[in-house]
Amino acid sequence: MRMFRFRSSLASIIAAAPLCLAAPALADHVPVSPQPGFNAGEAARLVHSESDKNDVIAAQLKLGSAYVRLGVQRLTAGALQGGATGWWEPTYLGYKLVSIAHHGVEIQIARAKWKDPMLGMESKKLLDSRALMRNALENVNHITAGDGGAVAAAVQSLQNSLSLVQQAQALVLP
C-alpha cells in the first residue's frame, strides 16, 4: 500500500510539472506605473491575462505596441534614467504584453485540430519581434548619454519590432 501511495504521488508531481514550469513566466513582477495617456489598471489586467482569445491578444498587442512607442519616444529624447519616467520601464511592459500575447497564440496553435498557417506566421512574427525588443532591453547597460550609436541601435531594434507586431496584429484581426 505504501508503494502505491508513493507512486501515485510521484505520478501527480510528474503530471503537474509542466504547469509549474509555465507559472514563473507569468508570475514575475512587471512594473505598471501610471503613464500620461495610459490606463495603468488595464495594463495590469492585460499583462496578467493569459488567453487564447483573439480580442485579448489584439488588446495586448495594441497596448504593448503603445508602451514600446512611448519607450522609443523617451529613448530618442534622451530619457535614459530608470523608473517610470525613463525609457526602459514602459518598453519592458510593452515587451511583456507582446510576450503574453505570443503565448496566447501558442495556446491557439496547441489547441488547433488542424495546422493553421496564419497562426504559424503570427507566432513567428511575434517571436522575432520579442527578440528585437529583448535585444534593446538587454543592451540597456550599454546605453549612456554620450553613446548615440547604442541609442540609435536600440531605437532601430524597437522600431523593427513594432513593425513585426503591426504585421502580427493584421493577422489577428478578423
Q: What is the pLDDT of residue 142?
A: 64
Mean pLDDT of 49-55: 92
Q: How far apart are CA 110 and CA 167, in angstroms?
A: 22
Rounded CA separation 63/48 (Å): 13
Backbone angles phi, psi at 37, to 5 degrees: 85, 5
Residue 116 to residue 123: CA distance in whole angstroms: 11
Average pLDDT, the chain: 83
Q: What angle do CA 27, 154, 92 make, to 5 degrees?
A: 15
Strand, coil or helix: 53: coil
Domain ranges, ordered by start, for the chain: 2-172
> Which residues, at least 6 apart from 51, have a Cβ–Cβ distance to it below 8 Å?
57, 104, 107
> Which fold is adopted by the domain 2-172?
Four Helix Bundle (Hemerythrin (Met), subunit A) (1.20.120)
**pLDDT at residue number 83:** 84
Give the distance, in angstroms, between the CA of residue 58 and the centroid of all CA atoms in the same chain.
13
Nearest CA-CA partner of 88 in 34, 145, 31: 31
pLDDT exceeds 90 at position 78:
no
The most confident of 7-16, 18-27, 45-54, 75-84, by mean pLDDT: 45-54
Q: What is the pLDDT of residues 36-49, one digit of tens each?
A: 999 999 999 999 99
pLDDT number for residue 173: 67
If you average pLDDT over residues 60-66, what whole number do you get?
A: 97
pLDDT band at 106 (very low <50, low <70, confident <90, very high): very high
Q: Which residue has the higher pLDDT, 62 or 23?
A: 62
The mean pLDDT value for 74-96 works out to 90
| pTM attached to this predicted model | 0.81
- The answer to whether 87 touches 80, Cβ cutoff 8 Å, is yes
Burial of 170 (0-12, 13-18, 19+ CB in 10 A): exposed
